[in-house]
Structure 1
Amino acid sequence: MGTHLLLDFFGTIVEYSPSRTDQGYHGSYALLCGRGCRLTYPEFLAAWSAVAAEFDRRSDVDEREFSMTELGAEFLRRALGGTPDPADVETFVTTYLGEWSSGIRYLAGMPDLLAGLAAEHRLAVVTNTHRADLVPGHLTAMGVAHHVDAVITSVEVGWRKPHPAIYAAALDALGVPASGAVFVGDTYVADYAGPEAVGIRSYLIDPARRHPVPDGRRLDSLADLPGLLGGG
């Protein structure tokens, strides 16, 4: 078995919209209204964005990850004017994530590409996410979960990329040193500079040539990786 591959998920294995409000969230809004909230739909989206931005700003400072449960609970507390029932939080979060996931697009040819990589290498997915079961669920829906030996999520580790702890967790899950792994992703700091800083050789999906990486480490897509793994 060859090099161990650590793969980002969002923007690498799937295309997605990072926006928290671009998709339709009428089911989530209906749940909120059913609990007595009087926000209009645009006000609901604005309030949700504002609370999420607060959580993001805190994480940007120290790279600690927050969960969708924490975010949902705080949003419902403000929107409803009291401490929400945990069951209501779970229902809201599950509904919201189902609607958000409508912006995820599975790429043609990706299952075959991952199957080919898994035939030569052990694979792990290393992803920033606020919900532990979100990415495993999509891997299962894509029919590729059996190719992946481990899924490392920031919400389970407690730290988001580029914190060293999440890369260490991935290496521990595969039982390899940094020198025995390669990282691939589409975000410069999280997926290239971060893993490089802990000794993991990295490749960046950067078709627009926006970031300062050597040409031999730059990919147009994940499909370029098999041809470059033998190089530096």
Structure 2
Amino acid sequence: MALSFDLFGTLVTADRPSEPWDAVAAALMTRSVRVPDDWEDAYRSAHRDYDRGREAPLDEHVRLALDSRGIEVTEETATEAVLDAFDSPVTVRNGAIDAVDAAAQRGPVAICSNCSVPGLVERTLERAAIEARSDHAFDAVVTSVGCGWRKPHPNIFEATADALDVALADLVHVGDDARTDGGAGRVGAQSMLLEDRSLPAIAEQLREGELC
């Protein structure tokens, strides 16, 4: 058996800007990028089509939004600005460390997270110091922006199982969102939702061998 955990809302809580276009604009301006007067409209408009279930990387979206207003920016600058705009303090949720430790005693463990900001999941894990506070490191970190597909698409769960070198049927995914994380149970894995049992309860069941 292998386990994967959703990150945001499951293992950690994090503040996110209520007006992300303003946060991105501020990060761009600190890098001497001219932000158009109608930036909110540009940011909130679609600038390319994505297949259903595909992740839309936010740094790409920002570059396309600026380009639509005749402003060029490098990929590196857009990526750094977007990451800075969304990087914020995080709080590790009650029971998260115990759940990760208990899972690692049963088999390989991964993060499987929807996130459109490149590097944000990794930065959040650093901020939360889950691995430093746990007895085990994650065997894999799978993100939607990294693999190209968002939960509940089967591809992200398949990518997680592949990263842990297990069959999809042997993967248990823990998350807080029935629509996205619950998708694991609809594609051949097993899903466990925090609305049904808490992280401390999951840790206890793992240690007692009640999860399979």
After TM superposition, the score normalised by the length of structure 1 is 0.73
Report the residue type matching 1:122 in the other structure: P
| Residue 225 in structure 1 maps to residue 202 in structure 2 | yes
Report the residue type matching 2:71 in the other structure: G
Which residue among 131, 142, 149 is the counterpart of 2:117?
131
Which residue among 2, 9, 13 is the counterpart of 1:15?
13
Matches within 5 A, 1:76-115: 76-78=66-68, 81-98=70-87, 101-102=88-89, 104-115=90-101
Which residue among 120, 126, 140 is the counterpart of 1:150?
140
CA deviations on 1:122-146 (whole Å, 9 max, x unpaired) are 2111111123422122223322345
Conserved in 1, the CA contact under 8 Å of 2:55 and 2:116? yes
1:111, distance to aligned residue in structure 2 (A) = 2.9
Higher fraction of helix? 1
Report the residue type matching 1:198 in the other structure: V
Q: SS state of the match for residue 120, structure 1?
A: coil
Report the residue type matching 2:200 in the other structure: A
When the two chains are superposed, the root-mean-square deviation of aligned CA atoms in Å is 3.0
Aligned mates of 2:2, 2:74 — CA distance in 1 = 43
Q: SS state of the match for residue 188, structure 1?
A: coil
1:150, distance to aligned residue in structure 2 (A) = 0.4
1:183, distance to aligned residue in structure 2 (A) = 1.1
Conserved in 1, the CA contact under 8 Å of 2:8 and 2:14? yes
Count of aligned positions: 204
Over 3 Å counting, the alpha-carbon distance change for 1:176 and 1:129 in structure 2 is same
Aligned mates of 2:64, 2:185 — CA distance in 1 = 36
Aligned mates of 1:88, 1:160 — CA distance in 2 = 24
Higher relative contact order (CA 8 A, sep 6+): 2
Aligned mates of 2:143, 2:205 — CA distance in 1 = 26
Aligned mates of 1:21, 1:86 — CA distance in 2 = 22
Partner of 2:193: 204
Structure 1: 4+ residue segments shifted above 4 A? 17-20
Aligned mates of 2:188, 2:79 — CA distance in 1 = 39
Structure 2: runs of 5 or more not aligned: none
Conserved in 2, the CA contact under 8 Å of 1:182 and 1:202? yes
1:48, distance to aligned residue in structure 2 (A) = 6.2
Structure 1: runs of 5 or more not aligned: 207-217
Over 3 Å counting, the alpha-carbon distance change for 1:49 and 1:87 in structure 2 is closer
After TM superposition, the score normalised by the length of structure 2 is 0.79
